[in-house]
Amino acid sequence: MPTDMVLTKQYDRHCPERVFGIIGSGNGDICLLPQKTGSTIKSKGNSRRVLVAACENVLLWDLKTQANINTYAELNTSTTSKKGREEVVTVSCSTNGKHLAVGYQNGILKLFDIDKNNEPVITFHGHKSSISTLAFTHDSSTLVSGGKDTDIIAWDLITESGLYRLRGHKAPITKIVIMQFKPVLISSSKDMTIKLWDMSIQHCFHTIVSHRTEIWSIAIAYDKYLITGCSDNELRFFALRSITDESIAEDDMMLPPIGLNDEQSSTNDQTLIQVQYIASIVRKSKQRIANIILDRDHHVLACHGIEPLVELFRINSEEEIKTKLRKRLKKERKRLRDNDDDEANAKIEWDISLIISPLCEIRFDGKVRSIDLYMENDDICKIVALTYSNKLDVRSMNINDKLPVNIEQVSTIEKPGHRTEVRCLAFSSDDMLIASGSSESLKIWNRYSSESIRTISCNYALCCLFLPGDHFVIIGCKNGSLELASLDSASIVETVQAHDKSIWSICLTPDRRGFISGGSDKKIKFWDLELRDDQSEENGSVKRKRLSFQQKRLFDVGEDVLALKISPNNRYLIAALMDTTVKVFFTDTCQMFLSLYGHSQPVLCIDVSFDNKLVITGSSDRNVKIWGLDFGDCHRSIFAHDDSIVAIQFVPKTYLFFTAGKDAKLKYWDADKFLHIQTLEGHCAEIRCMSLTNNGLHIVTAGHDKSIRLWERTEEPLILEEEKEQEREAEFENELETEEFVLAGETNKEIGLATLKTIESLKGAEGLIESVDIWREEKLKHAEHEAAQKAIGKDLPPPPMHMLLQAMGKNMTPERYVLDTLKKIPSSDLEAALLLLPFDYVQKFLILMISFLDNNVSLELCLKSTIFLMKIHHGLLTSSQQFLPIVEQLRTKCSMIIENLRNNVGFNLAGLKFMKRKIEEQNDVVLFADATQRLSKKRKKAKSSAILTIKAASALV
């Protein structure tokens, strides 16, 4: 073995362990989950579970028990740890309550199965930027997404593939709604337009251009009313008339008469829907609208801005509108009778008050981020609101009460998190407890269960630490006071006005008999811990003792103190000052020993190594400097973060250290070799504080996103070269996912392909090319082998198969290998992978498809691939005589196979219906109850009221 061989230093990998302290993020929304009973959805009385976006996860909360039932998140893989998890911005639940659609900040769309597991079932790549809105069709078979890239994409959830991309808006999409009984999609955008799309032909047939400000939200009620909200304080109402072959139904009393506000209605007779402006309602709020929400039964409408106020309105049903019309007609006839006029001339006016009436206003404790509502029964409506203060609030009201409506607070979910961002963190001496402080409270968390076990109200906390014994926590506050919090009584037992201004740092002395504090009053104070009689409690004649503190000495440093640290040998006191310098003082005499200067902006955090040799400092100038404590020389200056460094700490008994910055990243470093080891991403906003356990196995961080994250050290080795290579791959993937396919000869700019070029589709295309090459190579070898046998006139041993085919077993053939490669491509990336195939490989691939179709192998997959390739390359395939035989064979075979599949499905459906009738006859029950029964009842009801409707319509002006 050579004596000059150098061993590479091995590091341990760190990974995220869990996230807690967050109820709902300020950039996401909420969605009530309908509960299923058998094969039907119960929209009343059981909607007590709500899905809430919480950073990169989606939490399922039970509003009754106030417990977190489930968490829907992406699996923690090496890829996600390199690229970081993206923040959830929008969630939507399917109408059948089976699927959850989640839109992310990077434009990725994931579909989860709510009942089976909490891992994504399908992943769609279609948007280039953040997804802003999601909507399911009524049958839950299609999902439509809109993004800030101005595109609308429809996804087929059955085939797990993209259908089409709709282009037309010039600004980010804000809301998408889909009509229940018509294939019509309505989209709003910041370009001040609303577009109506025919989903069957992917065409925009009408555009509403009457708005003069950005449109932030829309809603649709009964498939007849379109409600829009803009940057002003008005709600605008539009009537949606369905165009039939006969004429517009004049007996529909829910809509205004034709001719009202004709200047703002659509006049194109070829459209599915005729849009007619009705009127507008002025909201009490002066801020722009943020969201408009309807309950599932379309009884109550709620709207809110970025403020605590939520306004609620009641939307009248058809029966209620008819009742109001009868009363108005009766009153008008009475007036004519009193004036001796003919009652036949009675006419009444149609106005917006027939449709909607104000209910009440609800003011929540904080600014509302998102709301949803449901009808518990025919009278009680419950409103669920997520506020920016990390809180879920549930209110209840009776919509049939006389005004003013009484509002009741049902429940709140606030215990599992802080109302404001966490500014300080600390571990207990046994590493079992975590203390977190914010502007309103101090919380104590169990590290193993991540549950809050104590909540103590306090002033604005800027720093905290556990005192010896772990029964008390000392808090440094923004108002300059030191507060002593008792974990036993869950209260503040002592408050001392220690400084005149904010206390930015406190540090326990190595002998654990006292601590020091420093603040904006330019003073550093020394405090001794002591036992003092507890004045609040007495046990008979014996008074209890409790821990307390008393000032020992102080000295003025002339500048604001931003960070403090005492060396482990208790010899030096290191203070970071506002003048960008770091001063080293002797602890006993308080005389200055060294002045460390070199940072261009104030130092925010410092730490000292276990052997008293190194000092590390993190500054607002985004640099980390490593200093020698003997002479004050700077060993190395490292550009560490893209924003200010707010926390820095050595791993105990090592030269390894962690830094946390406002760029939302946690980084791992080697101070001995000046190396960057690992970057941990997870926070969705800037990190505010950090703390390490005494054994160095766990790190806890808290950020502006109100989440507290626990990281753990694993036994998995980390190789620096591999880490850098994976980071480069992640950067390449991020650049690749922004590319969109451009098809040659495409002229329709309104519609395009749904998928984007991704690393998965690229790998799938490469696999197909490799498998086709192997098939071609094996085919040529067999042809040469047969030619050699004919030339010699005797049998020869077969040529050896390709190494990949040999490794997969004796039964593996080249054709089967191509088919297996095709099956491995995810359905959502299949079209993108086929688009990446060069045209010469497309020809070979179509020849293979002929053999697959002849053998009836994976018919659906082969048909889908064949039809897509024929559609994309139709021009080249039909313009050459060479490819016409292939096209003709595929046309014949595809038509015949599709006809056979259709016949099989029809036969099976008829058999199931026959079995259904037999079972019903035997058990005397009706099985498979569906919407057809409810539709027939609705038609009978509409027919019985037709005569009354026509009479009332004749009285309208």
DSSP conformation letters of 657-690: EEEEETTSEEEEEETTTTEEEEEEE--SS-EEEE
Q: Is residue 827 part of a domain?
A: yes
What are phi and psi for residue 819, nearest 5 degrees?
A: -65, -40
Give yes or no: residues 221 and 281 share one domain: yes
- 932 pLDDT tier (thresholds 50, 70, 90): low
Query: Alpha-carbon distance 65 to 54, whole Å?
Result: 19
Q: How many CA atoms lie within 13 A of 942 on its CB side?
A: 13
The domain tally of the chain equals 4
Position 267 scores a pLDDT of 46
Strand ranges in 346-448 using DSSP code E only, listed in sequence order: 356-363, 368-375, 380-387, 391-398, 407-413, 424-427, 433-437, 441-446
- CB environment 848-878: b (16+ within 10 A), e (fewer): bbeebbeeeebbebbbbbbeebbebbeeebe
Give yes or no: residues 575 and 528 share one domain: no
Rg (C-alpha) for the chain, rounded Å, is 35
**3-class secondary structure for 469-483?**
CCCEEEEEECCCEEE
Q: Is residue 452 part of a domain?
A: yes
Give yes or no: residues 512 and 573 share one domain: no
Query: Alpha-carbon distance 194 to 750, whole Å?
Result: 15
Q: Read off the tokens for 567.
A: 């060396």
Position 37 scores a pLDDT of 44
Query: Alpha-carbon distance 586 to 294, whole Å?
Result: 67
Give yes or no: residues 882 and 763 share one domain: yes
Identity of the amino acid at 26: G
**pLDDT surpasses 60 at 305:** yes
Identity of the amino acid at 564: L
Query: Alpha-carbon distance 703 to 550, whole Å?
Result: 33
Burial class from Cβ neighbours inside 10 Å (0-12, 13-18, 19+) for residue 129 reads middle
Q: Tell if the pTM clears 0.75, that is, is over it.
A: yes
Quick check: 43 and 296 in contact, CB under 8 A? Answer: yes
Task: Output 865 or 257, whichever has higher pLDDT.
Answer: 865
What is the average per-residue pLDDT within 81-90?
Answer: 72
Give yes or no: residues 196 and 321 share one domain: yes
Position 727 scores a pLDDT of 80
- CB environment 493-515: b (16+ within 10 A), e (fewer): bbebebbeebbbbbbbbeeeebb
What is the average per-residue pLDDT within 393-414?
Answer: 87
Q: Is residue 538 part of a domain?
A: no
Length of the chain equals 957
Find the farthest-apart pair of alpha carbons in the chain and give their distance in angstroms, rounded.
122
Q: Is residue 97 part of a domain?
A: no
**pLDDT surpasses 60 at 246:** no
- 160 pLDDT tier (thresholds 50, 70, 90): confident
Lowest mean pLDDT among 295-304, 530-539, 914-923: 530-539
| Strands of the 523-539 sheet, one edge to the other | 503-508, 514-519, 523-539, 542-556
Write down which residue in 713, 743, 778 finishes a domain. 713
Q: Is residue 410 part of a domain?
A: no
Residues spanned by the domain of 467 = 418-532+546-556
Q: Read off the tokens for 722.
A: 């591999």
Burial class from Cβ neighbours inside 10 Å (0-12, 13-18, 19+) for residue 841 reads middle
Q: Which residues pair with 524 in a beta bridge?
A: 518, 555
Portion of the chain with pLDDT greater than 70, in percent: 87
The SS3 assignment for 925 reads coil
DSSP state, residue 34: P
Give yes or no: residues 473 and 611 share one domain: no
- Among residues 111, 176, 165, the alpha carbon closest in space to that of 141 is found at 111
Give yes or no: residues 324 and 180 share one domain: yes
Give yes or no: residues 642 and 523 share one domain: no
pLDDT, tens digit, 9 for 90 and up, residues 722-736: 888 888 877 777 666
**pLDDT surpasses 60 at 46:** no
Q: Is residue 669 part of a domain?
A: yes
Query: Alpha-carbon distance 33 to 47, whole Å?
Result: 6
**pLDDT surpasses 90 at 353:** no
Q: Is residue 117 part of a domain?
A: no
Give yes or no: residues 478 and 580 share one domain: no
pLDDT, tens digit, 9 for 90 and up, residues 109-152: 999 988 876 778 888 988 989 999 999 999 889 999 999 999 99
Position 263 scores a pLDDT of 41
- 45 pLDDT tier (thresholds 50, 70, 90): very low
Quick check: 648 and 692 in contact, CB under 8 A? Answer: no
Q: Read off the tokens for 221.
A: 């009620």
- To 10 degrees, the CA torsion angle through 536, 538, 541, 546? -70
**pLDDT surpasses 60 at 245:** no
Give yes or no: residues 705 and 592 share one domain: yes
The CA-atom distances, in angstroms, between 873 and each of 770, 773, 789, 838, 878 are 21, 21, 39, 11, 9
What is the average per-residue pLDDT within 853-871?
Answer: 86
Position 53 scores a pLDDT of 93
Task: List, as one string, the DSSP characters of 486-541.
Answer: ETTTTEEEEEEE--SS-EEEEEE-TTSSEEEEEETTSEEEEEEEEEEEEEEEEETT
The CA-atom distances, in angstroms, between 94 and each of 139, 700, 787 are 9, 36, 61
DSSP state, residue 264: G
The CA-atom distances, in angstroms, between 256 and each of 87, 160, 264, 853, 854 are 44, 42, 13, 57, 60
What is the average per-residue pLDDT within 228-254?
Answer: 73
Give the list of residues 6+ apart from residue 740 with CB closer than 8 angstroms, or none. Answer: 128, 752, 756, 757
Q: Is residue 409 part of a domain?
A: no
Give the list of residues 6+ apart from residue 594 with CB closer than 8 angstroms, or none. Answer: 583, 584, 629, 631, 632
State yes or no: cis peptide before 404, omega within 30 of 0.
yes
**pLDDT surpasses 70 at 567:** yes
Give yes or no: residues 563 and 503 share one domain: no
DSSP state, residue 388: T
The SS3 assignment for 854 reads helix
Query: Alpha-carbon distance 734 to 908, whole Å?
Result: 46
Q: For the domain that residue 706 is a member of, what is the CATH number? A: 2.130.10.10
Write down which residue in 692, 713, 734 finishes a domain. 713
Position 950 scores a pLDDT of 41
Give yes or no: residues 666 and 593 share one domain: yes
